[in-house]
Structure 1
């Protein structure tokens, strides 16, 4: 089953690559079809991975799940908004490429993960990251000159990326709550401070807490909000995606 999941993900990455190439070649319909095929193949890979470890949970599998959730959640945007679609497809292509470098199924399922809280922690966290990436893409397009994105100016009151951040924050909060419940049931403590992923997830959560609080200030311009939303994607990758990259992390890089 693990070999099937690995092979199907390679196939999904291949379709993502073709979708990206055709998007660059300004063939949006072909790119959209290839993206849909890639998402379907990626979904089958996810199912195989889950079945192989069920009812336990194999952590550090986020790199394989993130391109799928990013593509599904942003599919409507990709369908309707050309500049954002190219950036989103490029991001899916990059994330799939990062996942290909992941060690080949070297992590075994957690013995204490036979609880719904473990699965909610994992899936909610991946969905939250996808929402933050979508928000960053929309914020980046907002900040780009019209000559670069080649579309009419984005409305000055466009707050669509704010809604994605709110959704991502809600899922991240749910992930943290479920993670605390899972930690308490499995190890007798709601927080394991020696786990770098816990610390970095909290750092991401506090960043977006600050963002949403500043959003309430009327004198905080939309340009500043867009900059913070775009920077947030970089922090999400460093704090939440990087720790899952296994042996392909930068050697000797410490979080504290």
Structure 2
């Protein structure tokens, strides 16, 4: 059964697009036909992160009838099973939940996973709650981000989101030593959402997404995203935290 996985956050700058990019690669590596729908309208970046250089149409072109959904799909050149629908490079408006739902329904007939890379905050919470099988709430280990994520989680629950899971992103020993939060358990308790994965703040994640390249085979970062992908496909596997 096809699934819609939405990636959102309470505040900006937590790494949603990088996470969506690398999660897409991990699911595709498992043989899952995967498409990323970039809805961070006006702040497009996944074309660079995935090495897609020949994009013609974007999400707004679909909304305005300038192209079909099929025409807006870009195939990632170095990753079999992975595709991308770009966000527009300029903000016009947020799509309605009915528009997002219609596009996701069409994509689910062709793909095993639809990953939605969203804006931060409240902008699309109603739409996400409507279309998503799972919503991944990204948070970094700092008190402002934790508080904002808890607020968004409450809004998503009010809108009857099916399933919420927490990803703690950009985790480093240095950040924890600064006592911004006591430990990762405090982050989980503060947001109040079940943990799905922990992503360390690694240089290779920045390099991979900046250059549009896959992560190095066997690296900590690759194993982390493989574990998250396995959990999303129903496999029982431990967290990768070192």
Asked if these proteins are the same fold (TM beyond 0.5), I'd say no
**Where is the helix percentage greater, Structure 1 or Structure 2?**
1
Structure of higher CA gyration radius = 1
Structure of greater relative contact order (alpha carbons < 8 Å, 6+ residues apart)? 2
With the length of structure 2 as denominator, give the TM-score of the two structures. 0.26
With the length of structure 1 as denominator, give the TM-score of the two structures. 0.25
